[in-house]
Amino acid sequence: MNDALIAGLRAQCGGPRDGALLRFSLGNALLERGDHVAAADEFRRAVQFDSNYSAAWKLLGKACLAGNDAAGAAEAWRQGVAVARERGDKQAEKEMTVFLRRVESKGEG
């Protein structure tokens, strides 16, 4: 099922529906499949379309961390915290702040 979803989402990339939500959805499906590097690439594309997409910043950090890129995760969460704070998205800000502290406390970020 997930492979069919990923194929369907990829088929829409580059078309008229390409955008932050499509790339976020594709990144999320790839993350669930365990393809952390490809997921991170899609989340990066999502924030290129919409740099204020705090959920994409959050999952970009998760994908980076799962792919053993703690520095990339920390940077994504720093960006995400700033975006969430600016938008008043308190829940996303709190979550990413916790994730960022964990990475920084391990000396990884």
In Å, how far are 34, 82, 87, 90 from 38, measured between CA atoms?
A: 9, 24, 28, 28
Q: What is the pTM of this model?
A: 0.93
Q: Are 83 and 54 in contact (CB under 8 A)?
A: yes
Domain made up of 2-107: CATH architecture: Alpha Horseshoe (1.25)
pLDDT of residue 107: 74
Can you tell me the distance from the alpha carbon of 72 to that of 23, in angstroms, rounded to the nearest whole number?
Answer: 18
Between the two ends of the chain, the Cα-to-Cα distance in Å is 35
Half-sphere exposure of 109 (CA within 13 A, CB side): 22
Residue 106, pLDDT above cutoff 90 = no
pLDDT in tens, 60-105: 999 999 999 999 999 999 999 999 999 999 999 999 999 999 999 9
Query: Which sequence spans correspond to the domains of the chain?
Result: 2-107
Q: Are 70 and 109 in contact (CB under 8 A)?
A: yes
Residue 54, pLDDT above cutoff 70 = yes
